[in-house]
Amino acid sequence: MKQISALIFLGLLLSVNAFSQIPDLVPTDGIKHPIHQNNLGKIIFMDGNIPLDQCKESDFLKTHVLNRASNLNFRVFMDNSITNYMHRLAPDLPEEELNQKGNYQFSFFVDGKLIYRENIHHGCGLRKSATTTLRMPFTDTNGGDFWSIYLFDRFKSNGGNKALTDGVHRFRVELRPYVQLQKNSEALVGDLIAAGDLELIIKSEKITAAQIAVQPIAENSGFEKSNERFDENKIKKLNKEIIRQSFKEITSIVVVKDGRLLLEEYFNNADRTTLHDTRSVGKSFTSLLMGMAIQDGYIKSESQTLRDFYDLTKFANYAPEKERVSLKNLLTMSSAFNGSDFNSDSPGNEENMYPSENWVKFALDLPMDSSKANGKQWDYFTAGVVLLGDILHRSTPEGLEKYAHQKLFGPLQISHYQWQYTPQKVVNTAGGLQLTSLDLAKVGQLYQNKGKWHGQQLLPAAWVEKSFTKQFPIPERTNEFYGYLFWNKTYQVNGKNYETFYCAGNGGSKVFVFKDLPLTIVITAKAYNRPYGHAQVDKMMEEYILPAVVR
């Protein structure tokens, strides 16, 4: 028996020794800085982004107060790259396949207890093949857009907030490599790469009655002030949750009822003059301006096709189906272009468009998708809205920017706004138009009034009706639809349904125009790319705002 045990032990020893002798697959950056050499295998924490060549051991945090003003960064000091660590787990895989099947596994502990563990997506991180030190933020007061911030948010949402009660806690992060050979298989996880500990001090901020009070509406809003009663306690509770950051990065709430301003509130350093980057909310303005251009005769109708505006033979991947793409197809996200923003591998994904030198050429060069037919199915396609903007710019006198000012912003008395531009210096109709909350409410109210503003028919009522028609169902969503660059859904509150068409943008900004209620609601937010950005707005609407203002 002892002899068998000895043989087993010897076999394990040889196995471990063989594993440790697996040669590296790729060369790395090496270990060039003394502070790196002295801290191999450690995760250290810093107050902000301190470059490696400026970093000193005195910058390493031992204690940190975690609050909304935190800029908690971490740096990992490794003796190899993540690609080589993964190579030890799956020696037969080539570099490219390794980097598509694995990455770092993060484990978060509070007071010695494992709270959350995640194998981060293979696309997260820096140069995996060569990097031997990694620096990223867990929190950032500048609104940074980093995978590590989202990871820390998920840790907090999955037990971290509950574990980090008021007081002093021991926080620990551990890092390991993983490789997932098959999509639904259990991942192979390697040995510990690095670990770090930090004393976190949690002290809840005191919230005063003044902070949660309903904010008074100042004069000169551009709307008549409403005297209608609403449930102030509901709004106070909502304000408290926003201040506590239960609802994150909310910057404003505006409610217009029966054409009068009922509620106007600002948060997180925003105010009445703040220009909000509402991202794809701007797409709905493209629909609005298209309706105006058709009314003015600059464009015949939304039935016109791309061949009326472009010589498509001059672009790559010519196909007769491309010539048959109509403006309506682009307005309803139902063209047959091989472009989908919901598919990161799609050639027409918006992330492939932004680095290109000419966004219109990018869109028109795209091939057609043989699995699609124009006008038959919905697929979110930002580049198509860029084409609509270019067509409007070509068709209107003096270009789209001046046309929008003369026909829309001027009549609505909107003077404080900011466009973003394409590489060709044309206004970007795909998103990024910045306006104040009250001016967003004016545009919503224009639709609520069936295209009228102060008695003047700025937008044809028939165009509003087309825009607010359920043109296509949204795949994988229940009872949600799409119109002419407007979304549609129905909220249920206290057993009653409230249908709304709305603009929506990355971060959670929305302009709601309710179908059977004289109600326009604007919410602006900066939760860009956060998984909770849109979901938290739905919760605000269903649990607080609608119950408060619909009596």
Can you give the pLDDT at residue 101? 95
166 and 58 part of one domain = yes
507 lies in some domain? yes
**CA angle, corner 99, sides to 96 and 105, nearest 5?**
165
262 and 141 part of one domain = no
166 and 264 part of one domain = no
CATH number of 438's domain:
3.40.710.10
118 and 256 part of one domain = no
In eight-state DSSP terms, residue 519 is E
142 and 258 part of one domain = no
269 and 189 part of one domain = no
189 and 276 part of one domain = no
501 lies in some domain? yes
423 lies in some domain? no
Cα 59 to Cα 52: distance, rounded to the nearest angstrom: 11
55 and 141 part of one domain = yes
Q: Can you tell me which residue has the tokens 């545009």?
A: 443
Domain end marker among 145, 171, 202 = 202
Which DSSP helix (H) or strand (E) runs through 384? helix 382-395
For the record, the structure tokens of 270 come out as 């925003």
343 lies in some domain? no
Determine how many CB atoms are found less than 10 A away from the CB of residue 156. 20
For the record, the structure tokens of 404 come out as 């929008």
256 and 130 part of one domain = no
454 lies in some domain? yes
55 and 170 part of one domain = yes
Contact 83, 128 (CB under 8 A): yes
514 lies in some domain? yes
330 lies in some domain? no
166 and 61 part of one domain = yes
For the stretch 317-322, contacts whose Cβ atoms lie closer than 8 Å and that sit 24 or more positions apart, written own/partner, are 317/365, 317/366, 317/367, 317/368, 319/367, 319/368, 321/368, 321/373, 321/374, 322/364, 322/368
Q: How many domains does the chain have?
A: 2
Domain end marker among 202, 221, 239 = 202
68 and 191 part of one domain = yes
Which DSSP helix (H) or strand (E) runs through 151? helix 147-155
The domain of 188 spans: 24-202
Helical pair 281-295 and 437-448, crossing angle rounded to 10 deg: 50
What percentage of the chain carries pLDDT values higher than 90?
89
The single-letter code of the amino acid at 335 is: S
- One pLDDT digit (tens) per residue for the chain, 551 residues: 445 444 444 444 444 444 457 899 999 999 999 999 999 999 999 999 999 999 999 999 999 999 988 999 999 999 999 999 999 999 999 999 999 999 999 999 999 999 999 999 998 877 788 999 999 999 998 767 789 998 999 999 899 999 999 999 999 999 999 999 998 899 999 999 999 999 999 998 889 999 999 999 999 999 999 999 999 999 999 999 999 888 999 999 999 999 999 999 999 999 999 999 999 999 999 999 999 999 999 999 999 999 999 999 999 999 999 999 999 999 999 999 999 999 989 999 999 999 999 999 999 999 999 999 999 999 999 999 999 999 999 999 999 999 999 999 999 999 999 999 999 999 999 998 999 999 999 999 999 999 999 999 999 999 999 999 999 999 999 999 999 999 999 999 999 999 999 999 999 999 999 999 999 999 999 998 888 899 999 999 999 999 999 98
303 class by beta-carbon count within 10 Å (0-12 exposed, 13-18 middle, 19+ buried):
exposed
295 lies in some domain? no
Can you give the pLDDT at residue 505? 98
Q: What is the pTM of this model?
A: 0.83
Contact 61, 198 (CB under 8 A): yes
Can you give the pLDDT at residue 23? 94
